[in-house]
C-alpha cells in the first residue's frame, strides 16, 4: 500500500513541477483526508465537530475501502457516522451523512449539549498523576470558550516565537496548595471532548496558563506562565472554590 501511494504522489509532483506550481500542504492534505466520501451510495462529509476530538467510539463490523482509506461505521443512534484513521491526530476523522450534516453541526455547536469539567491533577510535569474530576454544571460556556481561545493563542510553541505573549517566571507552585488544573468539555452523547492539553495553576489569586515547566537540568526549577485576564480567570477560580 505504501508503495502504491508513493507511485500515486510522484506523478502529481512531476506534473506540478512542469507547470511551475509547487504542491501545497493543503493539496496534499486533501488527498490524505478527503472532505467527502461516498459509501454505499451515501455521501459523507467531515468538519461537523470543529476542533473537538472523538472519544469512546465503538464500531460496527463492516469496513469500507475508499481510495487509499478504510472506513468503519460508528455505533451511534443519533447520526449516521463513519470513521477513518486518517488526519493529523491519532483519533482519526469522523464523517457524517450529508443529509444529517447540518443537524450534527448544530448539535455539536450548541453549548447546552456539553458537560463541563475541571480536573485537579496530582503533581505536575509529564508524569502521570491521579485525577480528581469534578463536574461543574454552573460554568459559563462563553467564558469556557474565551479561556480556550486565550490558551490556544498564548500557549507555548517551540517552532514559533510570539513576542506578544507576556510570560512570567515563577517558582514551581506547591502541588498541594496550587495543583495543576485542566478544563474541558464532553458532548452529552459521549462521542467528543475538547482539547485537554492546556494546564493551569492558581497563584496569588490569579489563574495562570502554563507556558512550560523549566526544570533547569536539576539546577533550578521554574514555572514559565501566562496570566489569564481577570474577567476570564476569576470565573474559574470561583467555580473551583466549591
User: What is the mean pLDDT for each group of 10 consecutive residues in the chain (242 residues)?
Assistant: 38 36 42 90 97 95 93 96 93 97 98 92 56 75 96 87 81 87 94 95 94 81 94 91 62
Of 96, 92, 91, whose CA–CA distance to 78 is shortest?
Answer: 96
In a domain, 118, yes or no: yes
Inter-residue contact 216 to 153 (CB < 8 Å)? no
Same domain, 124 and 87: no
Domain final position from 108, 135, 152: 108
Q: Are residues 72 and 47 in the same domain?
A: yes
CA distances from 169 to 181, 187, 202, 210, 212 (A): 18, 36, 14, 10, 10
Q: Which of 108, 137, 162 is the last residue of a domain?
A: 108
> What is the pLDDT at residue 177?
84
Decide: pTM greater than 0.85. no
Question: Domain ends where: 87, 108, 129?
Answer: 108
Residue 213 lies inside a defined structural domain of this protein: yes
- Count up the domains in the chain and report the number: 2
pLDDT of 128: 52
> Does 229 lie in the same domain as 123?
yes
- 210: nearest Cα among 234, 183, 190: 183
Domain carrying residue 220: 112-239
Amino acid at each position: 500500500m505504501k508503495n502504491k501511494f508513493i507511485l500515486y504522489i510522484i506523478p502529481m509532483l512531476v506534473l506540478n513541477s512542469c507547470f511551475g506550481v509547487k504542491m501545497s500542504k493543503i493539496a496534499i492534505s486533501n488527498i490524505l483526508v478527503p472532505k467527502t466520501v461516498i459509501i454505499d451510495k451515501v455521501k459523507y462529509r467531515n468538519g461537523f465537530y470543529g476542533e473537538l476530538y472523538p472519544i469512546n467510539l465503538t464500531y460496527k463490523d463492516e469496513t469500507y475501502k475508499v481510495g487509499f482509506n478504510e472506513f468503519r461505521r460508528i455505533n451511534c443512534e443519533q447520526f449516521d457516522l463513519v470513521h477513518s484513521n486518517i488526519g493529523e491526530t491519532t483519533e482519526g476523522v469522523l464523517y457524517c451523512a450529508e443529509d444529517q450534516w447540518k443537524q450534527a453541526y448544530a448539535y455539536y455547536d450548541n453549548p447546552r449539549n456539553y458537560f463541563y469539567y475541571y480536573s485537579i491533577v496530582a503533581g505536575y510535569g509529564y508524569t502521570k498523576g491521579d485525577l480528581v474530576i469534578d463536574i461543574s454544571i454552573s460554568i459559563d460556556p462563553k467564558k469556557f470558550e474565551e479561556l480556550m481561545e486565550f490558551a490556544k493563542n498564548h500557549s507555548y510553541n517551540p517552532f514559533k516565537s510570539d513576542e506578544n505573549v507576556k510570560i512570567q517566571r515563577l517558582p514551581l507552585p506547591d502541588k498541594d496548595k496550587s495543583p495543576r488544573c485542566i478544563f474541558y468539555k464532553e458532548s452529552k452523547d459521549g462521542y467528543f471532548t475538547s482539547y485537554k492539553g492546556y494546564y493551569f495553576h492558581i497563584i496569588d489569586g490569579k489563574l495562570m496558563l502554563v507556558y512550560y515547566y523549566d526544570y533547569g537540568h536539576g539546577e533550578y526549577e521554574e514555572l514559565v506562565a501566562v496570566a489569564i485576564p481577570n474577567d476570564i480567570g476569576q470565573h474559574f477560580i470561583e467555580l473551583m472554590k466549591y
